[in-house]
Structures are given as structure tokens and as C-alpha cells.
Structure 1
Amino acid sequence: MADFTLKEKESFTVLGIGTELKSDYTDYAGINKEKADFWQAVKQDGRLDALKAIATNDYIFVVNEAVNNKMMHYAGVMTEESLPEASRVIQFPKGEYLVVKGEAETSEELSNMLTGIAFGQILPEAENFAYVGGPNAAVEMGQRNGLVFGEMWIPVVKK
């Protein structure tokens, strides 16, 4: 099984700019294309830079959340401020989180890799904890040795 830890986290909020993913949840290629197109757009039109400018730290959050039966995907940051283009304040609950660490050549590769490991390997094999919904995030924390590094944070409950 992949390397992971369980960590207690305080509740926190992330200000996000989002998009609805319209592909079927089993269509990984379609979902990944929608996510890639979204990230390219928020980088090019300056919305990601606007978020970064008001962030309380250097972390970039790649958030997935079901909202009103829609699969939503957000670019977000931790901040106390607001932006007109921001579409949601995302509440992450206090509690236990599955934390998976990794590094990759790009932000997109990091997010896809961490999501795949967490949802494809760790959670299906976990015997003493489970994901029961709520927002989850791949957190880009910085760069070192030419690679992007970060963690996947998924709220879990003990079984």
C-alpha cells in the first residue's frame, strides 16, 4: 500500500474559483481534460494570480467537492479575504484526514498522481477508516529540486 498518514486537522476554509465537471464520474480521461482546461484558463486569465495575491500562505489547493449533486472542481487558497470572481468558500471540517505525500514534475501531474493513489489504492484497501464525502484537496506546497511537492488531504472517519 502507498505511503500515507492519518492526521488530526483543525477546521479550515479555502476560497475557491470553480467549475462544474460534466463528465461522468467514471470517465477519468474526460474529467482530467476538463480539469486541465480549467487550470489553463485560470492561469491565463489571471484568476489564479488574484487568488495567490490574497493567500495567507503559498499553498495552492486543488479541491474536489460534490455540491447540490454536481461534481465541482476548484482552484483555491487559504485566506480571510474575498474576491468578486471567487465562486465558493469551501469549509473543511475538523477531524481526521488521510494525508498522502508526493512530488511530480507539474502541478497537474501531482494532483492526478495523489488523487489516483488515495482513491485508487489507499481508500479501497483501508480497513479502519473510510471517506464519507465532503471536500478533498490536493495541496501544492512548493517546489524543490525541479519538482512540485505536496499532499492530498481527505477527511476520513474511523470504521
Structure 2
Amino acid sequence: MADYILEEKESFTVLGIGTELKSDYTDYAGINKEKADFWEAVSQDGRLDTLKAIAANDYIFAVNEAVNNKMMHYAGVMTDASVEEEARVIQFPKGEYLVVKGEGKTADELNTKLTGIAFGQVLPEAKDFAYVGGPNATVEMEQRNSLVFGEMWIPVVRK
């Protein structure tokens, strides 16, 4: 079983700029390509820098959330400020979170790796807790030695 912890978190808010994922939820390659294309776009056009400039900390959030029966993916930061662009305030509930830690050569690799571990290994094998929906996020926390370090945060309930 993969390394993970369950951690109590206070509720928090992420301000995100997003895109709708059009691939079927079982098409991991399609979803990963859409996410990578989105991150490349927000990095190049300055939207990610705009978010970083108003962030309360150095964390960069890659948030997945179902909104009105659409699979949405956001680039976000913790902040109380707002941006002029179309942005969504994403509420994460107070409660227990599955936390999977890891590293990757890029933020995209980190996101793909942690998502695979969390949804492909930990959650299917979990006996005492379950993910019942709501926003989840990969949190890019630090870069050092040419690696990106971070965690995946998924709200869970005890079974």
C-alpha cells in the first residue's frame, strides 16, 4: 500500500481559474493531456502569475471538482483577494483528508503520480474511509534539487 496519512484540516478556500475537462472520466490519458495543455496555457499567458501575485503562501493548487455535472480542473492559490478574470472560489470543507506525499520532475508529473496513487491504490484498498465527492487537489509545495514536491489532499469520511 502506498504511503499516506489521514489528517484533520480546517476549512479553506482556493481561488481558481479553470477549464472543463471534456474527456470521459475513465480516459486517463485524455484527462492528463487536457490538464497538461491547460497548465501550459495558464503558465504562458500570465494567468498563473496573476494568481501567484495575490497568494497567501507559495502553494499552487491543481483542483478537481464536479460543478453542475461537469468535470472541472483549476489552477488556484489560497487568497482572500480576487482577480478580474473569470475565477471560482472553491470551498474545501473542514474534516479528515487523505494526504498522499510525493515528488516529480515537473508539476504535471507530480499531479499525475499523486492522482494515480490516491485514486488507483489508496482509495480502492481503503477499508476505514472513503471519498464521497467534493473538491480534491494536488498541492505543489516546494521545488528543490530539480524536483517538485507536494501532496494530494482528498476529503474523506470514515466508513
TM over 0.5: yes
Of all paired residues, the percent bearing the same amino acid is 82
- 1:63 correspondence with 2:63: yes
Mapped contact 1:62–1:139 kept (Cα < 8 A): yes
TM norm structure 1: 0.99
Q: Offset of 1:51 from its aligned partner?
A: 0.1
Question: What is the count of residue pairs matched by the alignment?
Answer: 159
Q: Deviations over 1:20-61 (max 9, x none)?
A: 000100111111111111001000000000000000000000
What is residue 2 of structure 1 aligned with on the other side?
Answer: 2
Note the 1:39-58 alignment, pairs <5 A: 39-58=39-58
Gaps of 5+ in 1: none
What is residue 87 of structure 1 aligned with on the other side?
Answer: 87
Gaps of 5+ in 2: none
Tell me, in whole angstroms, the C-alpha distance in 2 between the residues paired with 1:84 and 1:16. 12
Pairwise CA RMSD of aligned residues? Answer: 0.5
Q: Secondary structure at the match of 2:24?
A: coil
Mapped contact 1:65–1:136 kept (Cα < 8 A): yes
Q: Offset of 1:144 from its aligned partner?
A: 1.7
What is residue 97 of structure 2 aligned with on the other side?
Answer: 97
Mapped contact 1:140–1:150 kept (Cα < 8 A): yes
Q: Secondary structure at the match of 1:111?
A: helix
Note the 1:129-140 alignment, pairs <5 A: 129-140=129-140
What is residue 124 of structure 1 aligned with on the other side?
Answer: 124
Q: Offset of 1:111 from its aligned partner?
A: 0.4
Q: Offset of 1:86 from its aligned partner?
A: 4.0
Q: Secondary structure at the match of 2:57?
A: coil
User: Which runs of 4 or more aligned residues in structure 1 lie more than 4 Å from their structure 2 counterparts after TM superposition?
Assistant: none
Mapped contact 1:15–1:86 kept (Cα < 8 A): no
2:114 is matched by which residue type in structure 1? L
Tell me, in whole angstroms, the C-alpha distance in 1 between the residues paired with 2:87 and 2:140. 20
Answer with 125-134 or 140-149: which moved more. Answer: 140-149
Tell me, in whole angstroms, the C-alpha distance in 1 between the residues paired with 2:32 and 2:143. 23
Q: Secondary structure at the match of 1:109?
A: helix
Q: Secondary structure at the match of 1:79?
A: coil
